[in-house]
Amino acid sequence: MKPTSMGQAVLIAAAVLYLVSVFFLSSPIWMGFSLNALIIAVVALSWNVTGGFGGLFSFGHAVMYGTGAYASAVLQVNYGVNAWIGLVAGIVAGAVMGAFIGAITFRFGLKGSYFALVTLAFAEVMRICASSFAFTGGGAGLQVKLDPGISTLQFQDRTVSYTLLLLVVAAVMILTAVMKNSRFGAYLIAIRENEDAARALGIDTYRIKVIAMAISGAFGGLAGVLYLQTMLYIDSTVVYGNAISVEALIGPLIGGAGTVWGPLVGTLGLHLLGEGAKHLLSNAPGLNFVLYAVVLICALRFLPQGLMGFAARIGPFRKKEEDDDNA
Amino acid sequence: MLEVRNISKSFGGLKAVSDASLDVPEGSIVALLGPNGAGKTTCFTMIAGFTKPDTGTVTFRGEDITGLAPHQICARGMIRTFQIVQPFAGLTVEENIAVGAYLHHHDRADATALARKVGKQLGMGGMLDRPAASLTIAGRKRLELARALATGAKLLLLDEVMAGLIPSEVTEIVGIIRQIRDEGHTILLIEHVMQAVMSLAETAYVLNYGEMIAHAPPKELVQDPAVIEAYLGHGAATRLQEGGHA
């Protein structure tokens, strides 16, 4: 997780500075916006596991997010289950959904754009299902009863919500770093770089990819539950919508896919940019996505390794012996 | 150590390999020769589990491994390299070798240490921290070898590790292969560089149009009319004989 260059240190410092600034600028708008950005950062970190480290470009990560959110919401609203159990159920449901999609798509050897299209299809199918059945609230969605308290995972003080979200993001990033430096991480990266060579070196590529999808699904499901507990209301177009799938991949791609800090840096940067544009150029809805598209195209053209990859080349730190940890 | 019996593979109507058999005794270096398109690489892919033979069996260390997946075969101690080198381009040399080392060393520190050791053994000590994408062809061929060795494999299937190298590099890699064998590995190699085959292999098999046409020590093979004709065309052997130089 440590930066390897001046450039990366500056980027990470900027992200941390921004995150800390929220505590001191007592602005509700700033706070609401930052809460949202942090939830999206968790989805971005989820996408980063498969898309960044595994090179499996999903275009439907909303499927994990929505499944986590709905699993928890259905349990809480329909069965009166405790929100903490809902949280665990959301994470598990996301992981199972991820593993399921992985198991069938990889069994048939799908990769590249075919994999992207199938994940998109899964997200759409789930969106339609969620808006069709009565137990998921149909088109009206599900609303969790307002009842602040630790046992219900609802917090009236947004500073508390924000602090907890920060801790969750930190935890997911630490897990990402642990994964990256493990045997599993090395295998996943090897698959991204060259799947045939990985197979020849004794890697059960199918198994590794399915596990990666499960981990990604767990993170994605977690993000969905975080959204639910923050907003207390979900419907199918919000949590299974394409917007989430796009946000999941755009942050890591711009920040630096396959790095620990990239998804967070990219998501925060983009949200700041989108929010700024909204205020400057009237409040046209969807304008932020136009801007994202322009930024994404520029990033893919000029920063193929994302901001973290670009920053790695600015003032590299001298490498010490036995210290080969690059962010 | 390795016994291949009557393996065949067809792609549509094309018989890529038919009824090929070969034996690789433990501790030996065996070459598999043949003109372009003879089915050598297809043989390798079948032996290493990348494609399933239509018929026949592959036995490794007394165990029938026909149709097992590559990772299962690799775990049993046999590994192949690729004719077209396949480095993990975005990783450093050390990280590349470590991927192989992880097979039997689950801990990162152990795997990295082994990777460094194998890298130094193959004369790559100075480039361990360089990205694999920056290596020359010769470097990439060595990297393939290093990665394969790091898995702890006992039998290496080397697919044209010398293709595209200049003579001095060939001499170096011949030395490395001999050193690998002397450390207790067994080697089956596909090779076109005859200088290397002559000096390395104790015995060689020749494939032509998917069929084994000869099996002998390499020095005898180059005199074999069937082999000469496979390479130089029908009637070439007699013409050479008449011309007085074989």
Contacts of B112 in chain A (CB under 8 A): 324
Contacts of B103 in chain A (CB under 8 A): 201-202
Hunting for tokens 């394969």 — which residue is that?
A: B148
State yes or no: pLDDT of B227 exceeds 90.
Answer: no
pLDDT score of A178: 96
pLDDT level of residue A263 (50, 70, 90 thresholds): very high
pLDDT score of A318: 66
**For range B135-148, the mean pLDDT:** 91
Q: Is the Cα torsion angle A159, A162, A167, A173 positive or negative in sign?
A: negative
Sheet of strand B203-208, all strands in order from the earlier edge strand to the far edge: B78-80, B155-159, B186-190, B29-33, B203-208, B211-216
pLDDT level of residue B153 (50, 70, 90 thresholds): very high
CATH of the domain at A240: 1.10.3470
Hunting for tokens 């941390």 — which residue is that?
A: A16
Specify the pairing of strand B203-208 against strand B29-33.
Answer: parallel
Residue B48 sits at the chain A interface (C-beta within 8 Å): yes
Looking at per-residue confidence, does A258 or A289 come out higher?
A258
Quick one: which of B172, B120, B129 has its CA closest to B150? B120
pLDDT level of residue A322 (50, 70, 90 thresholds): very low
Fold for domain B2-84+154-243?
Answer: Rossmann fold (3.40.50)
> Are the beta carbons of B98 and A200 separated by less than 8 Å?
no
pLDDT score of A323: 44
pLDDT digits (tens, 9 = 90+) for A185-196: 999 999 999 998
Contact A299, A254 (CB under 8 A): yes
Residue B50 sits at the chain A interface (C-beta within 8 Å): yes
**For range A75-103, the mean pLDDT:** 96
State yes or no: pLDDT of B156 exceeds 60.
Answer: yes
**For range A132-136, the mean pLDDT:** 91
**For range B157-161, the mean pLDDT:** 90
Contacts of B74 in chain A (CB under 8 A): 200-202
State yes or no: pLDDT of B146 exceeds 70.
Answer: yes
State yes or no: pLDDT of A281 exceeds 80.
Answer: no
Distance from CA of A193 to the nearest CA of B (A): 5
Distance from CA of B232 to the nearest CA of A (A): 34
pLDDT digits (tens, 9 = 90+) for B21-51: 999 999 999 999 888 888 889 999 999 999 9
Contacts of A193 in chain B (CB under 8 A): 87-91
Overall domain count for chain A: 1
pLDDT score of A119: 96
Single-letter amino acid code for the residue at A267: T
> Are the beta carbons of B88 and A204 separated by less than 8 Å?
no
Long-range contacts (CB closer than 8 Å, 24 or more residues apart) made by A146-149: A146/A232
Cβ-based neighbour number of residue A3 at 10 Å: 21
> Are the beta carbons of B147 and A182 separated by less than 8 Å?
no
Question: Is A298 within the bounds of a domain?
Answer: yes
Lowest mean pLDDT among A277-286, A310-319, B60-69, B135-144: A277-286
Question: Is A324 within the bounds of a domain?
Answer: no
> Are the beta carbons of A202 and B50 separated by less than 8 Å?
no
Domain residue ranges in chain B = 2-84+154-243
In the DSSP assignment, the letter for residue A301 is: H
pLDDT score of B147: 93
pLDDT score of B244: 56
The residue of B99, B108, B141, B149 whose CB has the most chain A CBs within 10 angstroms, and thus the best one to mutate to test that interface, is B99
pLDDT digits (tens, 9 = 90+) for A201-221: 999 999 999 999 999 999 999
The C-alpha atoms of residue A249 and residue A296 are separated, in whole angstroms, by 10
pLDDT level of residue A1 (50, 70, 90 thresholds): low
Structural domain boundaries, residue A87: 6-311
**For range A128-133, the mean pLDDT:** 94
Q: Among partner residues A189, A196, A324, which is closest to B86 by beta-carbon distance?
A: A196
Q: Among partner residues A189, A197, A203, which is closest to B71 by beta-carbon distance?
A: A203
Contact B88, A190 (CB under 8 A): yes
Which of residues 291 through 320 in chain A touch B, CB cutoff 8 A?
319
Question: Is A321 within the bounds of a domain?
Answer: no
Question: Is A191 within the bounds of a domain?
Answer: yes
Helix runs in A82-194, H state only: 83-107, 112-130, 158-180, 183-193
Collapsing DSSP to helix, strand or coil, B229 comes out as helix
